[in-house]
Amino acid sequence: MATGIRDKVAILGMGCSKFGERWDASPEDLMVESYVEAMEDAGIEPNQLDAAWFSHHIDDIGAGKGGTPMSIALRLPNIAVTRVENYCASGSEAFRGAVYAVAAGAADIAIAVGMEKLKDTGFGGLSPTNYGTLTPQIGPSGSAPGNFAQLASAYRAKHGVSAEDLKRAIAHVSVKSHANGAKNPKAHLQKEVTEEQVLNAPMIAEPLGLFDCCGVSDGAAAAIVTTPEIAKSLGKDNIISVKALQLAVSNGLENQHNSWDGSYFHTVRVAAKKAYAEANITKPREQVSMMEVHDCFSVTELVTMEDLFISEEGNAVKDVMDGFYDADGKVPCQIDGGLKCFGHPIGASGLRMLYEMYLQLQGRAGERQLKNPSIGLTHNLGGQPANNVCSIAIIGALDS
């Protein structure tokens, strides 16, 4: 049986660009911004990098296909650069590639950079995606909010929650994230919002209003990883290591089999169980200090609280309304503002989530700093509820 990734790989450095409508910045500028910060944090030179992973989702508008856009932008010393794409979980996938390369001993130091330049598409939201030749002929011509919004109707039907109560709970999810994002200079949206504003915002896809949807922005984030031994040899203390990395991918069951009821993420439950086992976590509600989850839409975050086994099934509305996930709650969620305030430059988001957990664990999160967090969890989801990929990463202090 596999021994898992726990404490085999350490994070040597991380960087994150300013997220937002970066009209001024090219894809290369964004990559360089996150790379320079990560390299300075790691304290290494480019020739110390053995391999690189590049996550980028929309290749026809952003930087283009392949590994060359990253290699050229960063002038890497002709090392391996692998471009990965796994829907909105692409950023976590780049991290996984780099971590596994180090764990395998194939690389001493590896880098993962995720970048997306959404604001060159001309769309207010995400641009429509190509799903091959069959799916467009049989699937609805929908959008991301319309697909995720369906969680709400199924969740309400299953748990007997009124439309008003659910709407108020998901509004609180957004109010909380905006309050956090207001303290983050790198966030796209840095303003607090009121519950009333959220409830009265224009409807995007029933029951999701404008403030139930994450922003759309440009951004990049980077992580440099190595072994704990090398990290120590480079003079690092306060080392943050990877405790778990799991990826669960839909196999069509949700979309085609009646056993799924539409109210939760099947893959998240699968990935969460494996991740907790890998990280040796037995009571996630007590042991997880903080989380950055894939709050592409407020309702996604709400049901995810149950799928990660933090809230009991059917209890997320109550926990959210009790402030359990607020900055001063038991398990703060989206302490950096989340996708809600950062927006979702697809290839970058998974790494951006890890960046905040890393800062918090090192005590470097400034105004947002939580008190002595020990375990940070990121949840990065791509696709839509009925058909998706779910990546869960858990990081914490080495040997904790």
Indicate which residues carry an active-site annotation. 88, 344
DSSP 8-state class, residue 81: E
Q: Mark 348-387 with x for binding to other proteins (rule: CB under 8 A) and - for no binding.
A: --------------------------------------x-
Beta carbon of residue 45, minimum distance to other proteins (angstroms, whole number): 44
In this chain, which stretch among 8-16, 27-35, 84-92, 248-256 interacts with other proteins, using CB under 8 A?
Answer: 248-256
CA 244 to chain centre: 15
Residue 53, classed as helix, strand or coil, is: strand
The reply to whether 106 sits near other proteins by the rule CB under 8 A is no
Q: Alpha-carbon dihedral of residues 115, 118, 121, 127, nearest 10 degrees?
A: 110
Rounded Cα–Cα distance for residues 221 and 149 (Å): 28
Position among 43, 46, 64, 142 found at the interface with other proteins (CB under 8 A):
142
CA 134 to chain centre: 29
80 Ramachandran zone, left/alpha/beta (phi>0; psi -120 to 50): beta
Alpha helical stretches, state H, 143-262: 144-159, 163-181, 195-199, 228-233, 253-256
Beta carbon of residue 262, minimum distance to other proteins (angstroms, whole number): 4
The reply to whether 203 sits near other proteins by the rule CB under 8 A is yes
The reply to whether 251 sits near other proteins by the rule CB under 8 A is yes
The reply to whether 103 sits near other proteins by the rule CB under 8 A is no
Position among 46, 106, 194, 257 found at the interface with other proteins (CB under 8 A):
257
Beta carbon of residue 181, minimum distance to other proteins (angstroms, whole number): 22
Strands, DSSP E only, in the chain?
10-16, 51-55, 80-84, 109-117, 203-205, 208-209, 218-226, 240-249, 290-292, 375-384, 387-397
In this chain, which stretch among 94-102, 103-111, 204-212, 321-329 interacts with other proteins, using CB under 8 A?
Answer: 204-212
Beta carbon of residue 258, minimum distance to other proteins (angstroms, whole number): 5
Q: Mark 146-185 with x for binding to other proteins (rule: CB under 8 A) and - for no binding.
A: xx-xxxxxx-xx----------------------------
DSSP state string for 156-190 = HHHHT--HHHHHHHHHHHHHHHHHHHTT-TT-S--
Beta carbon of residue 2, minimum distance to other proteins (angstroms, whole number): 22
The reply to whether 282 sits near other proteins by the rule CB under 8 A is no
Interface residues toward other proteins, by CB under 8 A: 122-123, 125, 127-128, 133-134, 136-143, 145-147, 149-154, 156-157, 202-206, 208, 251-253, 255-259, 261-263, 386
